[in-house]
Amino acid sequence: DQQVKQNSPSLSVQEGRISILNCDYTNSMFDYFLWYKKYPAEGPTFLISISSIKDKNEDGRFTVFLNKSAKHLSLHIVPSQPGDSAVYFCAASAESNFGNEKLTFGTGTRLTIIP
């Protein structure tokens, strides 16, 4: 049961254009969402996050949008740069009985920036 879904396994974008990565979730208890970036032979690194009380969070070239009614979030990268080529994972968490959380990840989207 995949509670976090990234339906596009891959995406190619021209350098300088906008990259939009999408993520859908099914668990309405999720209240915190994160994006991670992963290069080959390295562990994922945190990129940006958003709490369910917000609908947008920006950090430099990266903006995450959250649409709670649609259970959908997206990551926008503007402008896209060659170094952005990586696999991007969407992740979500919900408060557990113990007040701590585990992350539920999507399957990832491989982004390729074309110079």
Partner 1 sequence: KAGVTQTPRYLIKTRGQQVTLSCSPISGHRSVSWYQQTPGQGLQFLFEYFSETQRNKGNFPGRFSGRQFSNSRSEMNVSTLELGDSALYLCASSWNGNPYNEQFFGPGTRLTVL
- Residues near partner 1 (CB under 8 A): 4, 6, 32, 34, 36, 41-46, 49, 89, 91, 93, 96, 98, 100-108
CA distance 16 to 36: 21
Radius of gyration of the CA atoms of the chain, in A: 14
Report the residue number, 14 or 28, with the smaller CB distance to partner 1. Answer: 28
Instruction: Quote the least distance from Cβ 66 to partner 1, whole Å.
Output: 15
Residue 38: count other Cβ atoms within 10 Å of its Cβ: 16
Residues ≥6 apart with Cβ < 8 Å to 115: 15, 82
Residue with smaller CB distance to partner 1, 16 or 39: 39
98 vs 115, beta carbon nearer partner 1: 98
Q: How far is the CB of 30 from partner 1 (least distance, A)?
A: 11
CB of 27 to partner 1, least distance (A): 13
Using the minimum distance from each CB to partner 1, give the nearer residue, 68 or 79: 68
Secondary structure E strands in 1-115: 4-5, 10-14, 19-25, 32-38, 45-51, 56-59, 62-67, 72-77, 86-93, 104-105, 109-114
Residue 79 Cβ vs partner 1, minimum distance, rounded to whole Å: 25
